[in-house]
Amino acid sequence: MLVQIVDAVEHRTPDGIAAAISRLIRSGELAAGERLPTVRVVASELGVSPATVSNAWQALAGVGLITSRGRAGSFVLQASTAWMPPHFGELAGSHVEARLDLSTGTPDPELLPDLSAAFRSLPTRADTASYLSSPVLPELERHLRASWPYPVPAITIVDGALDAVSRSLESLVRFGDRVVVENPGFPPFLDLLDHFGVERLPVDIDAEGLRPDRLANALASHPVAIILQPRAHNPTGISMTEERVRDIARVLKSHSHLGDPVVIEDDHSGEISSAPAFSVGSWLPQRTLHVRSFAKSHGPDLRIAALGGPDQLLDRIVARRMLGPGWTSRMLQTILYELLTASPSLNTVHDARRIYQARQRRLSEALVRHGIGHFPSDGINTWVPVADEKAASVALAAGGIRVASGSTFSSSFSPEPEQHLRVTAGNVRDDFDRIAGLLAGAARA
């Protein structure tokens, strides 16, 4: 192993040493569980100080590639948590300590509304009149319809955005079908497609979202569904314009002779998105399933989202849920209704939306000052181009910052996708110039 490490090191700096070992681990040449040589031994072989190697070890630990077990030494970590789906698992890193974790894709907890007033509206017993009652509270449904981006035929409540996408796919696809996904896109979507035995058709995005010309090409393969994120796209933070959404609907109409794929729209950050809501459903309501999640705006642990679409599709999804969870707890629905209608929580979410937008703008402007071409994103995530993802991640870890590698979000089959980092800009509260400087330096690593 020592010979492997020495031969792999091209630059005898902390970043260079860490990058070399990172490549060995990710290629499988250093296997999970292997014990690394001691800092002093590696330093002696490379002709550098032990402090140089120690800094490299700290950077590797910062990105979750190795762990120290005290006097027992340092060991290569498992690539992911065993119970985590593979694509989703590449985002896992809760075991990794960082002074500033910008890898999570989760909202700033300080910007979530207080739930105490909503709790006071709950019944004192978790009772229900009948197992066959409507799965959606009538007052919540009325409120959601009033704010939906188009007149939706039917609405139901499910356990979060990913549950909505999963239920939708379950009702639509069969083994061997094809589904269009964005490139880059959200890794759990790829896990879902693998689970259903479905072939993915990656379609590139640009600064306005899914590219209509590339979608037209993909339609020749007869997909049964299209998954897209209309606002605050994860990972890039792009929100679609009305013109782009209209162009997508136009392409689908003009290619109807090839089939009628259902569009599944995941509006996962709607309440904190600064862009207006547009939906393909405005033009194709009978072929659109629109998901609105409240995780980013009101709290990930609420596990609640609304799913709207045509009756014939929603009825199948609701019927299938009756043979599983039955319905999403009406107590949770009561909490959501109170949060969506009470002035204090409305003000909190309004302020959160404004603060996220300001944080995105300030970080983007600082990146530009440091020589990185960048535009402000929507929602909480942003997409930063880098020369080398692994080297950039290691360099940032050395500075106490954790980010997510862009390759994790690639749905393409290209062996060498463009290099990026996903940065949860919404969790940068201050010190924008210093953080942008570290990101810019890492981008050039």
Rounded to the nearest angstrom, the gap between the alpha carbon of residue 94 and the centroid of all alpha carbons in its chain is 15
Question: Into how many domains does the chain fold?
Answer: 3
CATH of the domain at 102: 3.90.1150.10
Domain assignment of residue 7, given as a range: 2-76
CA atoms within 13 A on the CB side of 107: 29
Query: What pLDDT is recorded for position 94?
Result: 43
CATH of the domain at 42: 1.10.10.10
pLDDT tens string for the chain (445 positions)? 888 888 888 889 888 898 888 888 877 788 888 889 999 999 999 999 999 999 888 888 877 788 877 777 888 876 555 667 777 766 764 445 678 999 999 999 999 999 999 999 998 889 888 888 899 999 999 999 999 999 999 999 999 999 999 999 999 999 999 999 999 999 999 999 999 999 999 999 999 999 999 999 999 999 999 999 999 999 999 999 999 999 999 999 999 988 899 999 999 999 999 999 999 999 999 999 999 999 999 999 999 999 999 999 999 999 999 999 999 999 999 999 999 999 999 999 999 999 999 999 999 999 999 999 999 999 999 999 999 998 898 889 888 899 999 988 999 877 667 899 999 999 999 999 999 999 999 999 8
CATH of the domain at 200: 3.40.640.10
296 lies in a domain? yes
Query: Which residues pair with residue 75 across a beta bridge?
Result: 35, 67
Residues 165 and 92 in one domain: no
Measured between its terminal Cα atoms, the distance across the chain in Å is 25
Q: Which residue do the tokens 């996904």 mark?
A: 181
Residues 148 and 227 in one domain: yes
306 lies in a domain? yes
Residues 303 and 383 in one domain: no
Q: Which residue do the tokens 């006097």 mark?
A: 71
Burial (CB < 10 A; 0-12, 13-18, 19+), residue 312, is exposed
Backbone angles phi, psi at 373, to 5 degrees: -65, 125
Residues 291 and 158 in one domain: yes
Helix axes of 389-398 and 50-62: crossing angle, nearest 10 degrees: 110
Residues 250 and 142 in one domain: yes
Residues 191 and 309 in one domain: yes
Cα distance between residue 203 and residue 2, in whole Å: 43
Residues 359 and 437 in one domain: yes
Residues 195 and 53 in one domain: no
243 lies in a domain? yes
Query: What pLDDT is recorded for position 318?
Result: 96
Q: Which residue do the tokens 């209309």 mark?
A: 230
Residues 16 and 105 in one domain: no
117 lies in a domain? no
416 lies in a domain? yes
Residues 199 and 229 in one domain: yes
Cα distance between residue 354 and residue 281, in whole Å: 27
224 lies in a domain? yes
Residues 318 and 192 in one domain: yes
